[in-house]
Chain A
Amino acid sequence: MAFQIPTVKYSGKINEVPIGPAKVMVGGQNAYSFHTFEGSFPNKPKIALDVWDYDPSEEWPEALRQAFAGVMGDPGAWAGKCVEYGADIVVLHLKSSDPNDKNTGADHAVAAVQKVLDAVSCPVVIFGVDNKDKDVETLSAVAEKFAGKNLILGPVTEKNYKQIGAQALAYGHTVIARTPIDVNLAKQLNILLTGLGLPKDKIIVDPTTGGLGYGMEYGYSVMERISMAALVQQDDNLQQPMISFFGEDVWKSKEANLPTAENPQLGDATCRGVLMETTEAVAVLGAGVSVLSMRHPASVKLVREYVELAYDGGDVKGDLPKVPITEF
């Protein structure tokens, strides 16, 4: 008898969430990631690149400064560069609004969003600083000012879901519900948001991911458990598409910021950062993530090619980033 792959009996599917004014679809799969032999995947995972509302040249490693040279001072130009590099989505981080740092106001946030929206037509995520009060202030102003644009607003947490959720509902935006590495907390926040009247096609979840080598496994397993609950156990409170912001963790890590000469055993600094980002991207995709928030254009290229090949089959083609062999 010919071999047949033992298949899993799936009973649920991930909700499809249309994002941006053009309603780009995310989610919709009814099987574990890359398991093409037993499910359908109407929308491949989407890749987002990060833009900040101030110039982070002093904080970002050389690899990223080079990739975005000349545009990091202007969120609009920066967003345009992201799209040029192949990003499906732009994430505008309102980093300057952090009350522990620059503490800029809602007007600053609105101006930055305006610049990005003037520059690109792809879906745009507007991301706060995970400060429950400040995020309500900035995201509410943004929600109202850009009514009907179907922005994706986050992070919405257990502490401010009512305010931001209500704004998203009133002005036609989507939200990112963030919970700290726990299946039940993720489920609870979904229930609270839908209880508020937010439809399921307006919610993306961020179960929180650790950086590669910095506890990635915790978030990884929570995401696998969420996928399992959604697809096999038909838990309709966990069937929202997931987003992961691991790119930030990767590029903040010590190893991604170490110049090549300081430890040549770790290889070329730029390539190392890119492959740390790519390695974690492929891992979290496998755990069920639908949207990847990343930082380097070379990672985008690699992960995009990987996703195409994993879902559509065929041989590796195209002009991919090379690994320079570092001797030591």
Chain B
Amino acid sequence: MALTGIQIFKMLPGTNCKKCGAATCLAFAMNLASGKAELDACPDVSEESREKLSAASAPPIRPLTIGYGDTAIKIGGETVLFRHEKTFFNPTGIAALINDSESDADIAAKVKRYQKMQYSRVGLNLRPELVVVKGGARLADAAKAVVANSDLSVILYSEDPAALKAAAEALAGKNPLIGPATKANCAEVAAVAKEAKAPVWLKAASMDEVAELTKALTAAGLKDIVIDSGARTVKEVFTDSVAIRRAALGGNRDYGFPTIAFPAEITDNLAMQTAIASALIAKYAGVVVLGDLDGAMVFPLLLERLNIFTDPQRPMTMVQDIYPINNPGENSPVLVTTNFSLTYFIVSSEVEGSRVPCWLLIKDSEGLSVMTAWAAGKFSGDDVGQFVKKIGIEEKIKHKSVVIPGYAASISGDMEEELPGWNITIGPREAAHLTKFLKDYKTA
């Protein structure tokens, strides 16, 4: 559990020497408590206090990285149960399960397809990152087929330590997640993970066994651990997901690790797996494993993940730019609005739906919607007028007409002054009325 500034202060030397840069030890303690300072800045803290403080300041859920290159994914590190309480930091990894009984050619074809599932949205590239390779005899070969034919990162799934060892060696430098460590093979799998310097996952038969296994793996010197409680029904997998998060945030170190869940092993039906994954992305899974990937499953889950893991304190924004919609030409209407991503999405989807070719100008308004941006002076007439001049739309069109949002109607006068000769039209207040508006609107 996090310590308060006062609790930390009691463990500091109390000399007020200022060597850390803070005026007093109390001020330094307060900075430590709020994460603004590092303990190393204090030259005189005792070894005993240092140990206590670093244990207490460790995050309640261990953050760790699986994989390599573009698909390396950080999981864990979460601090709250509800995203509105702060934010969810590290998006759930999305994985496909491949059996090593499949031929190398089939595996190659699958992972090539998975790698092409990449979607760009609000300046981000959304994609599934992981493949779970399950089996024994052919584990290393199948894992090699994955990395030889794609850039996807790998999770190894075999209860045979020898197979894991061979596969981990084949994936040297690719930081695979190795496991499962179970009650039967814990010591051997721990040794493989340790040698490979790779994160390890455990598969338990009960929530009690989860604690036994995390204790054993920790005692073996491993820190990067991922938990599979072993639940394989819709109800239990959800319950365990909530239980582990709550226990971890409550300070129970035995459960302070990210989780992996297997919709793929709950049902063969891919549509139901998608529904299960949806619940687990919203509620706490570090990785969800699906039986196969198709765009129809992956795309909705990636959108959900993007939404759920968006920081509520920082609205998503669009880059200030000219956005062509429906292949506009030199006589197409020009619309201007703010860079709040929700505003952009709603406006652009209505314009797309109208099938009228348009130029959509997105002006940086610090992520505020039209009404708030206008009220906060981030969407004033001068400002928007200058923006229209500078953004370079004049080179793309043969008219001088621009449509402003209905909620910013009052800026039209100032805009006219800023843009002499331009025809400023006040558009509808609601994006939903754009289709009708565009049907009648003519540029001048």
Task: Identify the A interface with B (CB < 8 A).
Answer: 2-3, 5-6, 34-37, 100-101, 210, 212-218, 220-221, 224-225, 228, 252-255, 257, 263-268, 271-272, 274-276, 278-283, 286-287, 298, 302-303, 305-306, 309-316, 320-328
Binds A, one of B145-153, B299-307, B403-411: B299-307
Given known A-B contacts A279-B304, A312-B235, A213 and B242 have beta carbons under 8 A apart: no
B232 → chain A, closest Cβ, in Å?
A: 9
Q: Check A326–B275 contact: CB distance below 8 A.
A: no
What B residues does A287 contact at CB under 8 A? 282
Q: Does B83 lie within 8 Å of A217, measured CB to CB?
A: yes
Q: How far is the CA of A264 from the CA of B119 in the complex (A)?
A: 12
Binding site for A on B (CB under 8 A): 82-84, 113, 116-119, 121, 206-208, 210-211, 233-236, 238-239, 242-243, 246-247, 250, 266-267, 269-272, 274-276, 278-279, 281-283, 292, 294-301, 303-304, 306-308, 310, 312, 341-342, 345-346, 349, 352-353, 433, 436
Contact (Cβ within 8 A) B304 A286 = no
A1 to chain B, nearest CB (A): 9
Can you give 5 A-B contacts (C-beta < 8 A)? A212-B303, A280-B304, A306-B234, A313-B234, A323-B297
The closest CB in chain A to the CB of B301 belongs to: A279
In the bound complex, residues from chain A placing their C-beta under 8 Å from that of B345 are 213-215
A271: which B residues are within 8 A, CB to CB?
A: 271, 294, 296
Say yes or no: B296 contacts A216, CB within 8 Å: no
**5 closest Cβ contacts across the A-B interface?**
A267-B296, A267-B295, A213-B303, A316-B267, A309-B234
Q: Are A252 and B353 in contact, CB atoms less than 8 angstroms apart? A: yes
A266-B296, A267-B295, A267-B299 known; A213+B272 contact, CB < 8 A: no
Partner of A309, one of B119, B233, B353: B233
Q: Report the separation of the CA atoms of residues A271 and B278 in the bound assembly, to the nearest whole angstrom.
A: 15
In whole angstroms, what is the CA distance A96 to B346 when docked?
Answer: 22
Could you say which residues of chain A place their CB within 8 Å of the CB of B269? 316, 320, 322
The answer to whether B296 and A3 have CB atoms under 8 Å apart is: no
- Chain A residues with Cβ under 8 A from B299's Cβ? 255, 266-267, 272, 276
C-alpha gap A309/B270 in the complex (Å): 16
Contact between B275 and A323 (Cβ–Cβ < 8 Å)? no
In the complex, A210→B310 CA distance in Å? 14
Contact of A267 (CB < 8 Å), options: B233, B242, B297, B308: B297
State whether A213 touches B307 (Cβ < 8 A): yes
B82 neighbours in A (Cβ, 8 Å): 221, 224-225, 228
A3-B207, A216-B307, A279-B304 are known contacts; what are 4 more A-B pairs with Cβ within 8 Å? Answer: A253-B349, A287-B282, A309-B234, A320-B269
Residue of B nearest to A263 (CB): B295
Closest beta carbon of chain B to A94's beta carbon, Å: 16
Q: How far is the CA of A267 from the CA of B82 in the complex (A)?
A: 32
Please tell me which one of the listed residues B239, B298, B308, B353 contacts residue A220 in the complex, with CB atoms under 8 A apart: B308
> When chains A and B are docked, how far (Å) is the Cα of A315 from the Cα of B113?
30
* Chain B, interface SS category: helix
In whole angstroms, what is the CA distance A215 to B117 when docked? Answer: 22
Q: How far is the CA of A34 from the CA of B275 in the complex (A)?
A: 14
Q: Please name the residue on chain B nearest to A273 by beta carbon.
A: B296
A61 to chain B, nearest CB (A): 11
Please give, as numbers and ranges, the residues of chain A lying within 8 Å of B208 by CB-CB distance.
2-3
A100 and B275 in contact, given A280-B304, A306-B234 (Cβ under 8 angstroms): no
Contact A315 B233 (CB under 8 A): yes
Known: A217-B83, A306-B276. A316 touches B294 (CB 8 A): no
- Kindly report which residue of chain A lies nearest to residue B274, judged by CB atoms: A275
A221 contacts which of B83, B243, B341, B436 (Cβ < 8 Å)? B83
- Decide: B233 and A217 in contact? CB cutoff 8 A: no
A310 with B352: in contact, given A215-B341, A271-B296, A328-B113 (CB under 8 Å)?
Answer: no
**Residues of A contacting B211 in the complex (Cβ-Cβ under 8 angstroms):** 3
Contact A279 B308 (CB under 8 A): no
Report yes or no: A326 in contact with B341, Cβ–Cβ below 8 A: no
Bound CA span A2–B283, Å: 24
Do residues B243 and A5 form an inter-chain contact, with CB atoms below 8 A? yes
Q: Is the CB of B84 within 8 A of A286?
A: no
Q: Is the CB of A310 within 8 A of B294?
A: no
Q: Are B310 and A217 in contact (CB under 8 A)?
A: yes
B117/A217 in contact, CB under 8 A = no
Residues of A close to B296: CB separation below 8 A: 266-268, 271-272, 274-275, 323-324, 326
Query: Which residue from A101, A214, A306, A324 sits with its C-beta under 8 Å from B275?
Result: A306
Residues of the A chain whose Cβ atoms lie less than 8 Å from the Cβ of B207: 3, 5
Query: Chain B: which residue is nearest A7 at the CB level?
Result: B246
CB distance from A17 to the nearest CB of B (A): 25
In angstroms, Cα B118 to Cα A263, docked, is: 11
**Cross-interface CB contact of A279 among B83, B113, B274, cutoff 8 Å:** B274
CA of A324 to CA of B299, assembled, Å: 14
Task: A128 to B248: give the CA distance in the assembly, Å.
Answer: 46
> Across the interface, do A276 and B300 meet the contact criterion of CB distance under 8 Å?
yes
Task: State how many angstroms separate the Cβ of B40 from the closest Cβ of chain A.
Answer: 33
Residues of B with C-beta under 8 A to A311: 235
A73 to chain B, nearest CB (A): 22
In the bound assembly, the distance between CA atoms of A38 and B86 in angstroms comes to 24
A213 in contact with B306 given A306-B276, A310-B238 (CB within 8 Å):
yes
A265 to B118, CA, bound (A): 8
Instruction: Name the distance in Å between A285's Cβ and chain B's nearest Cβ.
Output: 8
Query: A316's closest neighbor in chain B, by CB?
Result: B267
In the complex, A328 Cα to B266 Cα: how many Å?
A: 28
Contacts of A272 in B (CB 8 A): 295-296, 299-300
A323, B290: Cα distance in complex, Å: 12
Kindly state the separation between the CA atoms of A217 and B233 in the bound complex, as whole angstroms: 27
| Contacting residue for A36 out of B239, B283, B312, CB 8 A | B239
Shortest C-beta distance, B244 to chain A (Å), equals 9
Chain A neighbourhood of B353, CB < 8 A: 252, 254, 257
Determine the chain B residues whose CB is within 8 A of the CB of A100 once the complex forms: 433, 436
